[in-house]
Amino acid sequence: MRIAKPLGWGKVGRLREPSIALTENLKKLSAKAVPALSSGFASGLGLLVAQIAFGSFIFSGPLAPYSSQGVGLVLFGNFATYLVIALAGGYLGAISGLSPALVIAMTTIGSTMDAEGAALFVTAAVALIR
């Protein structure tokens, strides 16, 4: 019967090597890295707040009981859109998001639907996805 050996310092040393290499690479970054990361963080935080507000506005009124699901739907949809644009876009600094005109139109559509309960949420979600 084999007895497992405890994790020795040799194993931990091998785990530290990638972190040391990462630290060295971060030190070699250009002077543009910090401004680029800080502006990316600031714009991402601003977009996050705006998308939560848009989702709350769209899923208000008769859709208010489904506000948390609606905000999650808006956030996930925007995340997927941002990811596709970031990976497939030709311009590195591209930022996209929901248009305020679309938000107003979706709010109008959601408030004038003739469904009730879960059917109202599903109809509004499908209208938003399309």
Lowest mean pLDDT among 14-28, 51-65, 77-91, 92-106: 14-28
**pTM of the entire predicted model:** 0.69
Task: Give the pLDDT score at 55.
Answer: 92
Task: Give the pLDDT score at 68.
Answer: 94
Task: Give the pLDDT score at 59.
Answer: 92
pLDDT at residue 15 above 60?
Answer: no
Give per-residue pLDDT as tens, 38-63.
Answer: 888 898 899 899 999 999 999 998 89
pLDDT at residue 118 above 70?
Answer: yes
pLDDT at residue 113 above 80?
Answer: yes
User: Please, what is the average pLDDT of the chain?
Assistant: 80
Task: Give the pLDDT score at 49.
Answer: 94
The 3-state secondary structure of 6-56, one letter per residue: CCCHHHHHHHHHHHHHHHHHHHCCCCCHHHHHHHHHHHHHHHHHHHHHHHH
Alpha-carbon span 24 to 26, nearest angstrom? 5
Percentage, residues of the chain above pLDDT 90: 24
